[in-house]
């Protein structure tokens, strides 16, 4: 069990969160004069998820999606697993990978809008593949590689026009979406590659969306890629090295105290799929959330309580600048009190401090009694929490901690107000 209460104190695996929060807050206050929210990650959970993924799909290689949780210290844990590389979407993410000791050959570079400088950077670092999303991008990569006297390894990202059941904002696999090549563009791309001396096609890729619970779209997408790989073989007289089905495996955001993984995406259903089992191709995945999602919490404190007729608004010290998912996707993250005062329950809205009506972490949830300064743990904040953080309302970015064995380590300092403002203050200086 990942979370449980012992004598009214919340434990996360072996970690007593009340004790741990006190230790963290003492450090933040004494060393950094910081007293806001913070993220805590658990290395054991990351490792469990990495092992589970690799073990269930033993034929596959994985490219962890850096955008889900990109702290360099987290990437160093991913690096311990030899069949894991990185899926990146910017020069900044490549740099993170390199700082975590990944080599270019372990990095695939996706994204619809790769800039010239980013393509040059990827070529210089000899990345494994550019996952190409448009004809114009393919031509640009060919031209840049030619001018540098290099051969660019590319994989074509295909838009499969397959619907996946998830939030509208995180669907990517439909023809109307901006991602990937349509079937006509795919044919044209093969012609361009055949004629080009600076492009080498090494794979086919697709990505259906994120927080997907059903394996069916993956099976359909695999069938499509296998079919397209046959066309490549025919047209280019050479097989591709790999097929990548992207990321998107969903986690169970509903769960908190019991059966935290009960309603996870079933990797096994893919492992058992005939086409997967018998494929002559290397099949890759790019999981992000499935690896990092459960590994993080956001700790926040109650600032004020406001009584309404049927419920109470608890205004807390973190909001959409630290976790935008509830405001942006109406996502639900379980919230637990770090230390229960009693068993009397009430209905709470957990509101952030930001001046936006959508700035809530949760609405109408049942919690035991809250008072000022009580700590709340917002669960499943490993993925797309800190990485989507912002300075809106001129709030500094929150610090990050990692539980490793029985220690808690600072892995990102709190941003000071000076650091936040320095780009402006120093802008006109020589
Ligand atoms: N591969 C590609 C090409 C992607 O675009 C993504 C995510 C992934 C892999 C990893 O997907 P994952 O396994 O983490 O679902 N901010 C949203 C999620 C956006 C996902 C963007 N692309 C959220 O908070 O739900």
The three state secondary structure string of 32-75 is: HCCCCCEEEEEHHHHHHHHHHHHHHCCCCEEEEEHHHCCCHHHH
Note the pLDDT of residue 166: 81
CB crowding 256-288: b at 16 or more within 10 Å, else e: beeebeeebbebeebbebeebeebebebbbbbb
Cα 286 to middle of ligand 1, angstroms: 9
CA-derived radius of gyration, the chain: 23
Q: What is the mean pLDDT of residues 122-129?
A: 98
Q: What is the mean pLDDT of residues 369-376?
A: 98
Residue located nearest, by CA, to atom 15 of ligand 1: 248
Residue 173 pLDDT > 80? no
Rounded to an integer, what distance in angstroms lies between the CA atom of residue 233 and that of residue 248? 28
Note the pLDDT of residue 368: 97
Q: In what order do the strands lie in the sheet with 9-12?
A: 3-6, 9-12, 15-16
Q: What is the mean pLDDT of residues 342-360?
A: 96
Rounded to an integer, what distance in angstroms lies between the CA atom of residue 211 and that of residue 395? 29
Q: Name the β-bridge partners of 367.
A: 346
Note the pLDDT of residue 277: 95
How would you class 168 by CB atoms within 10 Å of its CB: exposed for 0-12, middle for 13-18, buried for 19 or more? exposed
Contacts of 234 (CB under 8 A, 6+ apart): none
Single out the catalytic residue among 4, 21, 355, 381.
355
Note the pLDDT of residue 262: 79
pTM: 0.97
Atom number in ligand 1 closest to CA 210: 15
Residue 234 pLDDT > 90? yes
DSSP one-letter code for 386: G
Residue 367 pLDDT > 70? yes
Q: Which domains does the chain have, with CATH numbers?
A: 3-42+294-425 (2.40.37.10), 43-293 (3.20.20.10)
* 152 alpha-carbon distance from chain centroid: 27
- Is 355 catalytic? The answer is yes
Q: How confident is the model at residue 310 (pLDDT cuts 50, 70, 90)?
A: very high
Residue 1 pLDDT > 70? no
Q: What is the mean pLDDT of residues 91-116?
A: 98
Residue 353 structure tokens: 């401090």
Q: Are 191 and 232 in contact (CB under 8 A)?
A: no
Q: Are 325 and 384 in contact (CB under 8 A)?
A: yes
Write the DSSP assignment of 272-324 as a string of letters.
T-HHHHT-SSEEEE--SHHHHGGGEEEEEEEEEEEE-SS-EEEEES--TTT--
Note the pLDDT of residue 6: 96
Looking at every residue in the chain, the average pLDDT score rounds to: 96
Q: How confident is the model at residue 149 (pLDDT cuts 50, 70, 90)?
A: very high
Note the pLDDT of residue 76: 98
Cα 136 to middle of ligand 1, angstroms: 24
Note the pLDDT of residue 255: 84
Rounded to an integer, what distance in angstroms lies between the CA atom of residue 288 and that of residue 172? 15
Q: Which of 49, 60, 61, 65 to mutate to test the pocket of ligand 1 (most atoms within 8 A of CB)?
A: 65
Q: Name the β-bridge partners of 47.
A: none
Pairing status of strand 9-12 against strand 3-6:
antiparallel
pLDDT tens readout for residues 183-220: 999 999 999 999 999 999 999 999 999 999 999 999 99
Residue located nearest, by CA, to atom 5 of ligand 1: 207
pLDDT tens readout for residues 246-276: 999 999 998 888 778 878 999 999 999 999 9
Q: Are 211 and 226 in contact (CB under 8 A)?
A: no
Residue 43 pLDDT > 80? yes
Note the pLDDT of residue 165: 79
Percent of the chain at pLDDT above 70? 100
Q: Name the β-bridge partners of 6.
A: 9
In the three-class reduction of DSSP (H, G, I as helix; E, B as strand; rest coil), residue 115 is classed as coil
Cα 47 to middle of ligand 1, angstroms: 20
Q: Which of 213, 248, 252 to mutate to test the pocket of ligand 1 (most atoms within 8 A of CB)?
A: 248
């Amino acid at each position: 069990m990942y979370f449980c209460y012992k004598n009214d104190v919340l434990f996360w695996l072996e970690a007593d969160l009340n004790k741990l929060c006190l230790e963290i807050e003492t450090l933040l206050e004494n060393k950094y004069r910081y007293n806001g929210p913070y993220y805590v990650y658990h290395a054991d959970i990351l490792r469990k998820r990495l092992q589970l993924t690799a073990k269930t799909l033993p034929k596959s290689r994985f490219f962890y999606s850096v955008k889900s949780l990109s702290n360099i210290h987290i990437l160093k844990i991913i690096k311990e697993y030899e069949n894991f590389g990185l899926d990146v979407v910017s020069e900044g993410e490549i740099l993170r990978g390199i700082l975590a000791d990944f080599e270019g050959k372990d990095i695939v570079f996706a994204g619809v809008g790769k800039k010239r400088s980013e393509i040059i950077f990827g070529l210089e670092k000899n990345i494994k593949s550019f996952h190409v999303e448009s004809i114009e991008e393919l031509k640009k990569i060919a031209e840049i590689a030619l001018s540098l006297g290099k051969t660019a390894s590319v994989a074509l990202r295909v838009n499969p026009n397959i619907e996946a059941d998830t939030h509208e904002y995180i669907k990517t696999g439909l023809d109307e979406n901006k991602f990937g090549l349509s079937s006509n563009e795919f044919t044209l791309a093969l012609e361009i590659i055949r004629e080009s001396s600076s492009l080498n096609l090494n794979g086919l890729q697709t990505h259906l969306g994120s927080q997907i619970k059903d394996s069916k779209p993956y099976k359909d997408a695999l069938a499509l890629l296998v079919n397209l790989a046959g066309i490549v073989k025919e047209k280019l007289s050479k097989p591709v090295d790999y097929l990548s089905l992207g990321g998107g495996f969903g986690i169970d955001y509903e769960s908190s105290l019991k059966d935290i993984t009960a309603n996870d995406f079933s990797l096994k259903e893919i492992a058992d799929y005939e086409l997967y089992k018998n494929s002559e191709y290397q099949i890759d995945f790019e999981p992000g959330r499935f690896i990092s999602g459960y590994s993080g919490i956001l700790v926040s404190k109650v600032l004020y309580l406001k009584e309404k007729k049927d419920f109470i608004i608890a205004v807390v010290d973190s909001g959409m600048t630290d976790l935008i998912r509830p405001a942006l996707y109406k996502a639900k993250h379980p919230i637990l009190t770090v230390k229960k005062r009693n068993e009397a329950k009430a209905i709470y809205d957990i509101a952030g401090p930001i001046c936006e009506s959508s700035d809530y972490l949760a609405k109408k949830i049942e919690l035991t009694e809250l008072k000022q300064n009580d700590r709340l743990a917002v669960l499943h904040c490993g993925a797309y929490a800190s990485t989507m953080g912002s300075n809106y309302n001129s709030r500094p970015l929150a610090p990050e901690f990692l539980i490793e064995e029985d220690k808690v380590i600072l892995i990102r300092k709190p941003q000071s107000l000076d650091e936040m403002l320095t780009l402006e203050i120093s802008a006109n200086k020589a």
